[in-house]
Amino acid sequence: SLAIKKHVMCLMSDTGGGHRASAQALKDGFEIMFGDSFAIHVVDLWSSSSPWPLCNMPKSYFFLVKNPWLWRLSFRCSEPEILHEALFTGYTALVGRRFAKAFHENEPSLIVSVHPLMQHVPLKVLARMKAESSFVAARVPFTTVVTDLTRCHRTWFHRHVDKCFVATQLVAAQAMSYGLVANQLACHGLPIRPAFNAESLPKVELRRLLQLDLTASTVMLVGGGEGMGKLEATAEALSQTLSPGHQIVVICGRNEKLARTLAARTWPLKMVIKGFVNNMSEYMSACDCIITKAGPGTIAEALICGLPILLNGFIPCQEEGNVSFVLENGVGAFSEDPVEISQIISRWFKSDGIELNSMSSKAKSLGRPEATFNIVRDLAGMSTTY
């Protein structure tokens, strides 16, 4: 018989690479496990279905995050339930109709939110649609996939979701403190791209493929999808401190300007400079350690690849807990100072690999390479048939 294609609506917002990457990971996971029996629609309802000024929210996020005290202020002020409830009721009045229209058009068998601001308003809209019995989708299962590793904003958690997928026990405990119950929760890990679950080639093969030096101790430097942070100063300090036999791989992400600037210089050691790469799992598996800001995606990926992690910065509140996570688990270090960072890496490379190896095996044991597939399997099992 003809297979019925089920539609899954994935609610996200383009604030930081992480949410889009998680949505993409789930989409890829569905495709690999279920071929075309599912169609995943990733929608950014804030940008595509909201009137001004809400459609500008993703942009204001970037503004806020670059001004840490402002971000801290908005993060903390929006946590009390009474405040965000009032805000969300207001938003619902503004955007309700458009959200409802989007639900009608997509006719989903399942809704998956991968964004902290995509629980309350969509659920309010769905509840209203249900009351008006205007729409079958009103009884569609609603799920949240939390894409933070440690301290999560309260709006991630809504008591009326059918399932909430979390990455760590720490987040599960937070969810329960906000009133979710154990059988609403599943803890599989962060949804990362399926490539990270594939058996990786031996390091030396990968290096050959990526045209890296085959034997040099190699550090990777990244700043999230946007190439944020002190990448240039850090590259500079590393090149001064490491020995000429070492190697640095800088991944600039979408920061093309930085990639051009770095590529135009001459360096005293082997330096590989890249813009946005799509084969992050290969680069990670080819290197010996990583310097990155405390982004959850990059940390989860580095753990899977067994990479010791030197964190060089964090977004206030939501990434702060990731620093303690890395330190407490003994998988890396933290420093914001480029000179100190280069000294730490130099020490790691000098200690005959003992320190690096020990952190690397701890990292591997924390990694959850199968997270995406376990989440997708659960999600598929929850989807309704009409």
Q: Footprint of ligand UDP on this chain (CB under 6 A)?
A: 16-18, 21, 222, 224-226, 251, 253, 276-277, 280, 295-298, 301
Minimum separation from the CB atom of position 254 to ligand UDP (A):
7
Task: State how far the Cα of 334 lies from the Cα of 339, in Å rounded to an integer.
Answer: 13
Cβ proximity to ligand UDP: between 102 and 300 the closer is: 300
Q: Tell me, what amino acid is at 40?
A: I
Report yes or no: 230 and 356 within 8 Å, Cβ to Cβ: no
Nearest to 224 by CA among 195, 256, 257, 252: 252
Report yes or no: 58 and 15 within 8 Å, Cβ to Cβ: yes
Minimum separation from the CB atom of position 386 to ligand UDP (A):
35
Cβ proximity to ligand UDP: between 296 and 338 the closer is: 296
Minimum separation from the CB atom of position 323 to ligand UDP (A):
13
Report yes or no: 9 and 109 within 8 Å, Cβ to Cβ: no
Nearest to 118 by CA among 221, 47, 217: 47
Report yes or no: 168 and 185 within 8 Å, Cβ to Cβ: no
Minimum separation from the CB atom of position 320 to ligand UDP (A):
14
Cβ proximity to ligand UDP: between 133 and 278 the closer is: 278
- Token pair belonging to 331: 């998988």
Q: Is the peptide bond before 53 cis (omega within 30 degrees of 0)?
A: yes
Cβ proximity to ligand UDP: between 147 and 155 the closer is: 147
Cβ proximity to ligand UDP: between 225 and 369 the closer is: 225
Minimum separation from the CB atom of position 277 to ligand UDP (A):
4
Cβ proximity to ligand UDP: between 70 and 136 the closer is: 70
Minimum separation from the CB atom of position 280 to ligand UDP (A):
4
Task: State how far the Cα of 235 lies from the Cα of 148, in Å rounded to an integer.
Answer: 28
Nearest to 275 by CA among 225, 211, 207: 225
